[in-house]
Chain A
Amino acid sequence: MTDAPLEHKVRGVDHAAFPTFDPAATVRFYRDVLGFPVVHSICAAGWGPEDHPDFIHFFFDIGNDDRIAFFYYFGLERQHEQARGDAYAGFGPEVPEFFVRSRHLAIHVDDQDDLLEYRRRLDASSWPVEMQIQHETIESIYTHDPNGYMVEFTRAMRPVTPQEDLDANLTIDALLDVVGEPEPTFGKLLARKAELIVERAADWELAQERTRQQEQEPAQGVTS
């Protein structure tokens, strides 16, 4: 807690990679429907081990110079027979739907106009929007790409406030405390978080106020 925070030097997503068995539809979806430029590709004859198939690794720009990438392996059959799931993983009927949907990629857009522009592009395609939802502070549209991967587009409905960062950190500290004990529950988390709020929230607000005052003081000095 008292250690200086580690310097945060990373710069977003270089690429997130997924296998595909349908490169034609994948290119149609990302390049032709969504308009994501193809920005890189690798044509590789195997990759070291003798049983590694030849493959094409291809990349689409998802904004901010971040990329989504796919592997197409020549001659490789699908790796599962499940009806549910995606090109990477299949799920049997015993797996709840919320769990299947939990893993997804969310792509950021600036505002609602841009969100609705992507909605228009998807709705005119073979992969129309399946849901449009206003969450707590973001609004999102969802579809599944040709490989079954869930893709979300999302926009912030307002900027994130500083107190939400405090709240997130108190949540995580409370979570670590309750998962460190037997039988963690949501009720136990809320009880532990209430303790952390009482311990820390008032001091946090005073520190915020002091920071605001310090930021204002030099400016006042210049003008006086």
Chain B
Amino acid sequence: MDLLEFAKELGIITTIAVVVLLFVLVVVLYLVLKLRWVIARIQSRLGPNRTGPWGVAQTIADALKLFQKEDIIPRGADRLLFTLAPAIVFIPAYLVYVVIPFGDGMTPRSLNIGAIYFSAISSIGVIGIIVAGWASNNKWSLLGAFRGASQLIAYEVPIILALAAPILITGTLDLNRIVQAQAGGFWHWNIFQGMPMLPLAFLIMLVAGLAEINVAPFDIMEAESELVAGFNTEYSGMKFALFFLAEFAASFTLSAIIVTLFLGGYQPPLHILGGQVTAKLFGVIPLFSLISLFWFLFKCWVVVLGIMWIRSTLPRVRMDQLMNLSWKALIPAGLANLLLTGAYVAFWMAK
């Protein structure tokens, strides 16, 4: 590869990065608004309805307000690490979007180790949270960071164990090929395959994922009633915005990975609703990818709504309950599930 080609490659990579970043921003804008609507609805409140029609401009107003805030670095804080921490949290949350198959042929960068890339990159974020809590020089922050570290470490293990089940059954680490293996109607989706191992893996993934993205009932690292705001107590302005962005970006990532691994990714629920048929009817080829993109986003939307429903109805767990759930319930269940799946693949599917 000569230098010109290399520069061209760099250009392509930059373009992809910018597109993905814009997508993340739009998703977060929408999710923040949706969350406020959904929680207001569930709690019988009105929710945002003043800024723009039905309050659609609420997040934009929030963002503008956030940008105007003074950027405060507390005295006694480690200035360098305090500034770096939001970036360490945000960059991994943004990088995982690179391997998500958004639609047929619409993966920003398809890797043949996509599933492992996902869990590897998302494991970096915890360092940022610890650093943020420590660098703030504030006891609430430090307590939040401590809780966060033990929580994120504990729940990474069941996620990886749950991840292994669909990988074993489809026999590939490539997220694209996992989606392709689920083609042909909703009964081919992984969640309806390999009874009962894959549905169990789905449940483990969902519960551990909720803890990993740090939402109620597992939001003890920023439990408002105990820790003010946890690890980001001292943050304001743009730095706080980055944490906020990373949190909502991660909740979309969780639903995207669940949809990809268990709910058929961009595959339509029935073949007739897919792009191939519509493309034949109307003779428009690009429509094919767009329809698969629609199905992917629609499924993610449903999963996100489910997550919002859970977080607005369940009370927060205690620290010890949180640890017990992971180490004594999810991890043993995940290990047993992995063993069963292995046996299933070796003795049943081999036939």
A binds B: no
